[in-house]
Amino acid sequence: MAELAPVVAIDNLMTELATLARISEAEPPVVTRVVFSEADLQARAYVKELCRAAGLTIREDAVGNAFARWAGTGSDAKLAPVATGSHIDAIPNAGAYDGAVGVLGGLEAIRALQRAGFQPRRPIELVLFTSEEPTRFGIGCLGSRIMGGVLKPDHARSLRDKEGRSLDELRDHAGFAGELDSVLRPSGHFHAFVELHIEQGPLLEREGLDLGIVTHIAAPASLKVLIEGEGGHAGAMLMPDRHDALAAASELILSLESAAKATGVIDTVATVGVCEVFPGAVNSVPSRVRLETDIRDTDGARRDEVLAKWKTAANEVAARRGVRISFETVNADPPATCDAAVLAAVQQAAEASGRSSRRMVSRAYHDSLFVARFAPVAMIFIPCRGGVSHRPDEYSSPEWIANGVEVLAGTLARLAE
């Protein structure tokens, strides 16, 4: 293709990112935008206003995924579009860049192509996904999961938030009507999808690189674990007679760590992020513990082997300590491999822009993981200071963001030609 010279209006983009960050349920610099909250709906309205100003046409599906299309004067509406995008919902006490860079940066990539006079052969769409974060319903990537057929409509309809409100009730209140079955997208719905995102890790900054070109996206197996023992008075219950649920949980946590380390592969990670102890009194032997765990790998079989070894260890702990241990699988998603042709387009765009890059994996999961079920995908990572994310001090510099948007624009142009 003839090389374009898309110019990123970085000052304007940084202003838009700052404006979006102020639409929050918390005081700045904290960003909190739980899906379908007033802040989320205001943020969506702001992004849609910017899209309309850029001449994009907008449609929304039944769960609130938004699609802003640039047809261009030379595009063929019968061809599958090239797409980019991310999310703007934010967990409590978050920062301004996670997800938002992919949405507003994707919009700026389209505007940069418009200013450069590019006319796409394929339409280009910006996608704003609903509820990438699991804050409200306890399950991440809600919108893209339904699009990819991973979350079935019947299961989605059964979801409740902590106040007992259903997905149907909340989406209806937010103005998103229609049957959830209609959200599912067929294979080939997008010609290609490219997501721009902050790395959420330290490697790019540490190595002084402009970009990461993501080849694989790890996927989690999320489980809830219940350990039931026997409680009693901390002074009166003798040590030989104890069936301490917390002591058993401690062994279980360490055995998960050991199973993950035993693979010898850096891409295998395991975390126990929640540990709730009952009754939670200093002078009472714990009778019940609830754990929530997250096991991730870029290799699904290797991840599942860690899980199997952990359950075997749990059976041994349960028998030896006289406790009951039960597992509930919340989700066990397959990892994704990014598409070779889309990766090549990203690499060519990076080289044409003179940006340094490396191939890498994404250990966090993103909407791209589920879009990969029905379209070829790739991701572009940009550095974030100190690898910090999901915190108010999350930061990516204007230079880093501009580099990413420039390469995204070049990638979209190549894929839409």
- Which tokens go with 352? 């044409």
DSSP-assigned letters across all residues of 278-340: ES--TTEE--EEEEEEEEEESSHHHHHHHHHHHHHHHHHHHHHHT-EEEEEEEEEPPPEE--H
pLDDT in tens, 62-101: 999 999 999 977 778 899 999 999 999 999 999 999 999 9
**Confidence at 5, pLDDT banded by 50, 70, 90:** confident
Residues 180-194: tens digit of each pLDDT: 999 999 999 999 999
- This prediction's pTM: 0.92
Quick check: 2 pLDDT over 60? Answer: no
- What element of type H or E holds 127? strand 124-129
CA 394 – CA 241 distance, rounded (Å): 49
What is the pLDDT at residue 75? 74
Q: Supply the pLDDT for residue 1.
A: 56
Which tokens in the block code for residue 355?
């940006």
What's the average model confidence in pLDDT over 286-308?
A: 96
**Beta-strand relationship, 219-228 and 357-362:** unpaired
Q: What is the pLDDT of residue 3?
A: 67
Beta bridge partners of 362: 217
What pLDDT score was predicted for residue 76?
A: 85
For residues 50-65, give the mean pLDDT: 98
If you write DSSP's letter for every residue of 161-227 in order, what string do you get?
-TT--BHHHHHHHHT--S-GGGG---TTSSSEEEEEEE-SSSHHHHHT-SEEEEEEE-EEEEEEEEE
pLDDT score, position 73: 74
Fill in the amino acid letter for 233: H
> CA 9, CA 58: separation in Å to the nearest integer?
23
Q: Residue 240: is the preceding peptide bond cis (ω within 30°)?
A: no
User: What average pLDDT does range 4-11 have in this prediction?
Assistant: 92
Q: What is the dihedral of CA 367, 370, 371, 375, to 10 degrees?
A: 150
Residues 388-416, mean pLDDT to the nearest whole number: 98
